[in-house]
Amino acid sequence: MEKYKIKIRSTVSEEKLHKGTFIFIFRASRIPPHIGVIVNGMLYDITSVGPNIDLSVTDFFNTALKRKTEVIFVELEQPEANVNLNQLITEKVTQYWKVTSTTSCLSPIKDFINEVYHIKVSGAKFIFELLPVLFEQHLIKDVSQLNLSNKMVNNAFELTKYTERDIEKCIEALHRKEKLVC
């Protein structure tokens, strides 16, 4: 399978996640990974069962540490416009509500980036298509990781490129699992 190489500068600290805006790539070595946003210490994403809004990054960070979950954090530059980023990402996450066969976890993030940074990223279907655009526009301030040190070579992680079918299969598996729960 094809790979997308992501240069990673450091291991993230919890304190760093309390200020700024980050795209996180959760379970980075899985196909597909899960994508969400952290804004000023609060986590936002959509899942197959609904949205997560204003979750504490402390809880997320501690759980990832405890479970040794592989996470990449892409820190974005602060936008020039004076926008309430937490309110805006809440609106985007609420608008999409949950992951479906036509809506990926990347959907609200692309809308958020379009509105905050005034760049069109609607053509990016996958995180490995979005990141090059953000790098090209000089919107990425830093890239850090958690629990990926043993999978990095020369300070880089190779993200496996996935397809829309990989996403569909993941959603189908999640739905099967949900039906098993009483």
Location of structure tokens 């190489």: 5
The count of structural domains within the chain is 1
Residue 103 CA from chain centroid, whole number: 14
Between 94 and 48, the more confident residue is 94
Who contacts 27 (Cβ-Cβ below 8 Å, separation ≥6)? 33, 34, 69, 70, 71
Is 8 within 8 Å of 155 (Cβ atoms)?
yes
Q: What are the tens digits of pLDDT across the range 24-76? A: 999 999 999 999 999 999 999 999 889 999 999 999 999 999 999 999 999 99
**Nearest by Cα to 34 from 108, 84, 85:** 108
Q: What are the tens digits of pLDDT across the range 143-166? A: 999 999 999 999 999 999 999 888
Who contacts 40 (Cβ-Cβ below 8 Å, separation ≥6)? 18, 19, 20, 21, 85, 86
Query: Domain residues for 33?
Result: 3-180
Secondary structure element (H or E) that encloses residue 22, with its range:
strand 21-26
Is 36 within 8 Å of 166 (Cβ atoms)?
no
